[in-house]
Amino acid sequence: MSFRLADASPLEDDVSYVWRKAMRGHQLDLAGMARACGVDGPAIEAMIAGKASAALLEKAVTVLHLHAAAVQALPRYQPRVPNVHAVIGLRLPFETDWVNAWLIREEDQVLLFDTGFERDSARHALQPLGVADLQLFLTHDHRDHVGGIAGLRSIVKKQHSMSYGQTQRIGAMELRCVDLSGHCIPSYGYVITGLSRTICVVGDALFAGSIGGCADAFTYQMALRNLRHHVMSLPDDTILLPGHGPATTVGQEKRSNPFLA
């Protein structure tokens, strides 16, 4: 299924995922979080379910270095993003959920970022769009982003492999590859200029209102450092294309992402 940037879409993560990702990033289980906040385990379970008292919320965001207002507003957060004529999203099935791939068509250049989980779902989604001679870029090698590579071989002109810091010109566009490792190592982000708005394809490094889950404290801090350095430093109107959930912008994530606000 294809969609445009301005189409509304549910967030990938609700507040329970935010709490759990932050706790894992600080190596805190329920008991450790309860001790850090001076409460019992059931109070932390209630907080994760979205039922925290104001006093507990204040303690928890301090322990986890989250932004309190962004946590509280997350259930109502829906980023607003303008359509860019060259950009089309592909919402592809992943088990009982969905994963994004992103298509950019500018003049005679056709770029695809990620391929979905199933072998043929990306190819089927692209058929009505009449695309061929794809130039393929991958953000990371998790199965829900690379499973469709084999099904696309007949229409992929080139699969690109860029290094961090490398730039490449494709038609009127310039792509710069940035390090977004953390959720997965390695992870590649692509900053694209030459369209009507600057675009950054972020894969699973960032979701609207959240970030990709990290295995431990080391990769969690790596993820936050890379996001702040390579993504949050971009102009506020830069459009971010995540691997799951809706598109967003740098400015909206600065205000509304509990990890980055």
What region does 95 belong to: left with phi over 0, alpha with psi -120 to 50, or beta?
left
Total residues belonging to the chain? 261
Q: Which residues contact 175 (CB under 8 A, 6 or more apart)?
A: 137, 162, 167, 168, 169, 190, 191, 192
Contact 121, 143 (CB under 8 A): no
3-state secondary structure 195-232: CCCCEEEEECCEECCEECCCCCHHHHHHHHHHHHHHCC
Would you say residue 52 has pLDDT above 90?
no
In the prediction, which pLDDT does 220 show? 98
- Are 142 and 184 in contact by the 8 Å Cβ rule? The answer is yes
Q: Domains in the chain, start-ordered, CATH in brackets?
A: 2-9+81-256 (3.60.15.10), 15-76 (1.10.260.40)
pLDDT digit string, tens, across residues 117-164? 999 999 999 999 999 899 999 999 999 999 999 999 999 999 999 999
Amino acid in the structure at residue 233: S
In the chain, DSSP finds a helix count (H) and a strand count (E) of 9, 14
Please give the residue that has the higher pLDDT: either 173 or 1: 173
Let me know: does 105 contact 152? Beta carbons within 8 Å: no
- For 184-239, write each residue's pLDDT tens digit: 999 999 999 999 999 999 999 999 999 999 999 999 999 999 999 999 999 999 99
- The answer, yes or no, to whether the previous bond of 79 is cis (omega within 30 of 0) is no
Overall average pLDDT of the 75-94 stretch: 97
Residues near 241 by beta carbon (within 8 Å), at least 6 away in sequence: 87, 89, 100, 102, 113, 199, 200, 201, 202, 247
Residues whose CB falls within 8 Å of the CB of residue 127, separated by 6 or more in sequence, listed in order: none
